[in-house]
A and B are shown apart, each in its own frame.
Chain A
Amino acid sequence: MVVWTDFERSTIQDIFSKMDYEVVGPAALTRCLIVYPWTQRYFGNFGNLYNAAAIMGNPMVAKHGTTILHGLDRGVKNMDDLKTTYAELSVLHSEKLHVDPDNFKLLSDCLTIVVAARFGEAFTAEVQAAFQKFLAVVVSSLGRQYH
């Protein structure tokens, strides 16, 4: 059972409430596909991913980035039961999508950097710690149903 301090809870709610999912999601996913190009293996049917410009202009990537952020939003609204919240998505990523769970960490790191860029000074060490803790628990939940 994850224990959240009041600071962590309010920080997570605050960050996500200030985020434009349709900007941050695509920014994080495109960054992941560019910085860790082997992650492109999961997006064979997304069309043109040949270079950074193509990735950044790809509408399927953008749409999927937004989908991912909405997936995180579910966690934000269910912080006390992330295991159950992500059980189905975990099965999906394992059985159907066959995503190596190490990739979840890569995407988390890119999301952290995108959020740091947007929030600037407000993204203090304590805020970063809370944010990364939340992402780490989500990542762990997503990996739980793999076998």
Chain B
Amino acid sequence: MSLTDKDKATVKAVWAKISKSADAIGADALSRMLVVYPQTKTYFSHWPDLGPNSASVKNHGKNVMGGIALAVSKIDDLTAGLLELSEQHAFQLRVDPANFKILSHCILVVIAGLFPKDFTPEAHVAVDKFFCGVSLALAERYR
């Protein structure tokens, strides 16, 4: 299910619309994930506060969206572009890759809520495919 040229163009267009709100999207998606999928909290036992107003959550949401921004810029070769992040997730963070799907879903929910008119089914399929590609690239170095 690789990205077609049309998918890439759609992803870039969506990103152009939403990137100004990237920090807010990241924070909301992450805090949503911690509430809707409580098992994900196991990765953040070192944070004092896991609530939506937590500085740790907001900061980390920003980091995640920074990674997405990087992925958009490397959309023609996600595996190569995200190699360093993959190594970080594989050897240090050791996040089970099943969670990439969970966070992707939460990001999609936030985008849909903030940009209901722009997040058409066509935009949705392109972004979903893109997140699948990003997740795959992030898992590249796991084993």
Contact = CB atoms under 8 A, between A and B. Distances in A.
Q: Do A and B bind each other?
A: yes
Interface in B14-48: 28, 31-32, 34-36
B116 A112 contact: no
B99 to A, nearest CB: 15
A21 to B, nearest CB: 18
Nearest to A119: B113
Interface residues of B, number: 21
Contact of A34 (B28, B110, B122): B122
A17 B44 CA distance: 36
Interface in B78-95: none
Interface in A24-75: 30-31, 34-35, 52, 56
A35 B125 contact: yes
B52 interface: yes
B interface, by DSSP: helix, strand, loop or mixed? helix
A121 interface: yes
Nearest to A128: B36
B109 interface: yes
B112 interface: yes
Contacts of B32: 125, 128
Contacts of B31: 125
Nearest to B36: A129
Contacts of B116: 117-118, 120
Contacts of A91: none
Interface of A: 30-31, 34-35, 52, 56, 109, 112-114, 116-121, 123, 125-126, 128-129, 132
